Amino acid sequence: MGRYRFAVVFAALLAGLAAPAAAAADTGIPNITVEVPQQVTAVAGRITTVTATVVNHGRTAAADLVLHSADTGALATTCGDEGCPVGDLAAGASRKYTISFTPAAATGVEDIASTFEVSVSGTTGAVLDSAPVTVARTTAGTDLALAGIDDVAVDRGNYTNVPITVRNSGTRMVSHLALVLVAEQALQPVAGYANCEFDRTDDFSYTTVTCLIDQTLGPGQTLSLPATTNPLLVKVAPDAGGPDEYAVSAAVVGVGDTAAGVAAAEPGPRLTLRAAAAPDDLAGDVTSFRIDVSASTAGVSAADPAADDDTTVGSTDRLPSPTGWLAAFIAGALVVLIARRRRTA
């Protein structure tokens, strides 16, 4: 995706705000990020690994870095409470680590997809950056693949359709499918169906929607969402920063009868697939695409031209990422300060 998200402690935020404008060019503070896959699939009960890359984007070496991966009730990860020592990292250097986890079996729609946080801390123990990894559970022996999805440009406040096409490239019938969509901050998936459930990460950086689709998919068969009815959408927030690129990832997994039975009891309209032609390009069980948002605009309020306190009014409230490391730090710090778990049905 070519972009990095930053989070800093409140003290760093205050220091950045108090400094004069010229201090923004001083990159004496190490600029540390952690990069992980946005979404992976895993078979319940089997060990799965993801690669986490710690990067120093600054001009100053960082010391005593530690990588952490927070455990959840359904995932047991390495680099947990004690963390994995990274040590010192020179300016411009990066270091890769493998994080292993073993997901438990899904018992309902709410735990088909689970998210754990990967973070890196510094000398004081404060978190320098963090990123979530969403794990979608699949049943053993399935071989499902999604067609690739093209990048798209969307204006603030508007929607884009998510064209999902899934093919069974395996040799066994799949009785229940789960579609998992993960959208970055400033994007909101829209799927008003009884078999879809929404969740957000603790820092609001990602929203996940999981739809359990109770349809069979035989070997060599292909199903897709009906594009004419736009059943699955992603909305760009009216105050999304720009110019910027926001990431969306989709995954499809086979689901066991236990989880499917729980979802089947929910009343209301249901998201379904229909038969389709085999796609030319298959991206595997996870595919990603970008939503491009244009540059922000700003002007001076003319409500009272004679007043001395004219206010600059912009089309967005969020700071766009190209404004530099200080703005990214501030935006990340604000996210950390207001972080709170929120679930919506």
Instruction: List, as one string, the DSSP characters of 171-218.
Output: SS-B--EEEEEEEETTEEEE---TTEEEEE-TTSSEEEEEEEE---B-
Q: What is the pLDDT of residue 96?
A: 92
Query: Mapping DSSP to helix (H, G, I), strand (E, B) and coil, where does residue 71 land?
Result: coil
Burial class for 237, CB neighbours closer than 10 Å (0-12, 13-18, 19+): middle
Query: Mapping DSSP to helix (H, G, I), strand (E, B) and coil, where does residue 325 land?
Result: helix
* C-beta of residue 206 within 8 angstroms of C-beta of residue 132: yes
Give the span between the Cα atoms of 246 and 243, in whole angstroms: 10
Is 0.75 surpassed by the pTM of this model? no
Beta pairing class for 152-153 and 286-293: parallel
Which of 228, 221, 223, 200 lies closest to 213 in space, CA to CA?
A: 223
Give the span between the Cα atoms of 214 and 264, in whole angstroms: 8
Beta pairing class for 233-236 and 159-161: antiparallel
Q: 3-state SS of the chain: helix, strand, coil percent to 5?
A: 15, 40, 45
Give the span between the Cα atoms of 177 and 188, in whole angstroms: 22
Tens-digit pLDDT string for the chain (345 aa): 433 333 333 333 333 333 333 333 434 567 999 999 988 888 888 888 889 999 999 889 999 999 998 766 566 678 876 788 999 999 999 999 988 888 887 777 777 888 888 999 998 889 999 988 888 888 777 789 999 999 999 999 999 999 999 999 888 888 889 999 999 989 999 888 888 888 887 777 789 999 988 889 999 999 999 877 778 999 999 999 889 999 999 999 988 776 666 555 567 888 889 999 988 888 788 999 999 999 876 533 444 444 444 433 334 444 333 333 333 333 333 333 323 333 333
C-alpha atoms less than 13 angstroms from C-alpha of 337 in its C-beta half-sphere: 13
Element (H, E) at 328: helix 325-337
- Both tokens assigned to 266: 């929910």
Which of 144, 168, 182 lies closest to 43 in space, CA to CA?
A: 144
Q: What is the pLDDT of residue 259?
A: 63
* C-beta of residue 103 within 8 angstroms of C-beta of residue 75: yes
Eight-state DSSP code of residue 336: H
Give the span between the Cα atoms of 223 and 271, in whole angstroms: 13
Query: Mapping DSSP to helix (H, G, I), strand (E, B) and coil, where does residue 158 land?
Result: coil
- Between CA 44 and CA 52, with CA 50 as vertex, the angle to 5 degrees is 150
